[in-house]
Amino acid sequence: MNNSFGHNYTITTWGESHGKALGVVIDGCPAGLELDEKDIQVFLDRRKPGQSKYTTPRNEDDKAIILSGTMEGVTTGCPISIMVENNNQKSRDYSNIANVYRPGHADYTFEEKFGIRDYRGGGRSSGRETIARVAGGAVASKILRELGVTLDCYTRAIGKYVISDSNDINMDEMDNPLYMPNDRVAFQAMDYIEECMRNSDSVGGIVECVIHGVKPGVGEPVFNKLDAKLAQAMLSIGAVKGFEIGDGFRVATSNGSNNNDEMSYQEDVVFHSNHAGGVLGGISTGQDIVFRVAIKPTPSISQKQHTIDRLHDEIDITINGRHDPIIVPRAVVVVESMAAITLLDLMMDNMTSKMDYMKEIYK
């Protein structure tokens, strides 16, 4: 249940980490969008395993196959089904923990809820489920680009190594395995990750996303606030444990005189700051939308850990298999994809918020 996200532009994800394939069904994509597998593959290549020594060595090509919803390279308005086959799963790596609840994983909660769980890599709770989200986000992002909306998503922090000043973010320095737009901090973080790997440990971090080109007025004022829907989308990603927009938790130590974004009019509305992160009252202001998510350390580590089994006997385990020492770099495109899906869905909602909009189409 509840494997779908979105109201107008809807994704339904399916498949398990060690099943035959994973995929997504996209409903609500307009007809007439030029689309082929290459558009989706660019996004999938950013999250696929084996890209560097900081990711799992699981060797998957993650090739996108469009099964429906396009004809001669153009969307038809019908549901788009995209599949990615699993070709390199090694379920035997998990046989020793088939009856054991791994610390930090959803093993215990899944079994309590359903009475059964897929112990082979976590099934639906595996990070591999995000393939489907990225495929859906690739299509959403292409639509947004045609509407003048773009997204920059990157690693802001890994462990204690943080790009502390936004002025130090240089998107020309993103060409590193961490997708971190500051070479100096990235190299410090890489040294730290290698130290964690030597200690059979893992590390977390922060992903930041900046959305450019969103017009004022997107988002609903009560339950479907733009920031609330972004929070829901981000916290639905398995590794995400925190969300903040604009100044986020810093507002708790601020004052209204500092936190309010003053305005003036210079041929258009001008904001003098962006503490709100581009959203007021759940509705976009026209400024850049800026938010961050906290990614937890990979729970699968090869250190000995104490837990219980299905009979509630206490046991020490060592987790085998192929796991990322850090999730953050591969999560960057997942965050970007879910942001694109959320924003597009609310922009479609907004098409009916004024009579003027409806007259442009129908009158």
Q: Name the phi and psi angles at 330, rounded to 5.
A: -80, -15
Other C-beta atoms closer than 10 Å to the C-beta of 168 total 13
Q: What is the pLDDT along the chain (363 residues), one digit of tens a residue?
A: 789 999 999 999 999 988 899 999 999 999 999 999 999 999 999 988 666 666 666 557 899 999 999 999 999 999 999 999 998 655 555 667 788 999 999 999 999 999 988 887 788 888 899 999 999 999 999 999 999 999 999 999 999 999 999 999 999 999 999 999 999 999 999 999 999 999 989 999 999 999 999 999 999 999 999 999 999 999 999 999 999 999 999 999 999 999 999 999 999 999 999 999 999 999 999 999 999 999 999 998 888 999 999 999 999 988 876 677 899 999 999 999 999 999 999 999 999 999 999 999 998
Whole-angstrom Cα distance, residue 190 to residue 50? 16
CA atoms within 13 A on the CB side of 4: 11
Phi-psi region for residue 171, left (φ > 0), alpha (ψ -120 to 50) or beta? alpha
Residue 50: Cβ-neighbour burial (10 angstroms; 0-12, 13-18, 19+): middle
Q: What is the pLDDT of residue 312?
A: 93
Q: What is the pLDDT of residue 227?
A: 98
Answering whether pTM is above 0.85, one says yes
Which residues, at least 6 apart from 122, have a Cβ–Cβ distance to it below 8 Å? Answer: 17, 105, 106, 107
- DSSP helix, strand, coil percent of the chain (3-state; round to 5): 35, 25, 45
With CA atoms as reference, report the closest residue to 237 among 277, 282, 296.
296
Give just the sign of the alpha carbon dihedral 317, 321, 323, 325. Answer: positive
Q: What is the pLDDT of residue 94?
A: 63
353 in Cβ contact with 261 (< 8 Å): no
The CA-based angle 261-263-269, given to 5 degrees, is: 125
Whole-angstrom Cα distance, residue 142 to residue 79? 16
Q: What is the pLDDT of residue 58?
A: 57
